[in-house]
Amino acid sequence: MTVEGGVVDEIGVLSRIEALCAEKGLRMTEPRRVIARVLSDSEDHPDAEELYDRVKAIDSSISMATIYRTMKLFEEMSIVSKRDFGDGRARYEKQSGPEDHHHHMIDVQSGEVIEFFNQELEDLKKRIARDLGFELVDHHLELFGVRLKKKH
């Protein structure tokens, strides 16, 4: 195939990934096809979270779990190689609306999630940002804990 222009190039790269999957007998579901396409289009080395962000822009129904399962499968089948740059996991950013702003307290023992809002905390965060020379535009907070034993 003569590669002239982005479209042909994109198809060529995508075909290579899909051909690898077919060669190894991997059934191509739609999520796998989308993930393979995003991987093909990536010129950097995206981690699972970056991959999720890019995949989400194409198909928002694909979950983080699907990304991790697919990457694990692709790696086990030598379709992709995992690289460790020693920088740990990428952290995420969350989009939140001001109208229903709240945080979460998560019971690590049971998985129970309790929503809470604390004005004192909100004021403190704004003050910290301001003291550091910023206007706070977004943040999120999850607290993890175990329930205190009741006193008898």
- The verdict on 92 binding other proteins (CB under 8 A) reads yes
Which ranges of 24-99 would DSSP assign to H, the alpha helix?
Answer: 30-41, 48-58, 64-76
Residue 104 makes contact with other proteins by CB under 8 A: yes
Residue 144 binds other proteins, judged by CB under 8 A: yes
Determine which helix (DSSP H) or strand (DSSP E) holds 7, and give its type and residue range.
helix 6-23
The least CB distance from residue 40 to other proteins, in Å, is 22
How many residues of this chain bind other proteins (CB under 8 A)? 33
CA distance 36 to 43: 13
Per rule CB under 8 A, is residue 123 in the interface with other proteins? no
Distance CA 143, CA 137 (A): 20
76 touching other proteins, by CB under 8 A: no
Q: Among residues 22, 58, 108, 121, which is the contact residue for other proteins, using CB under 8 A?
A: 108
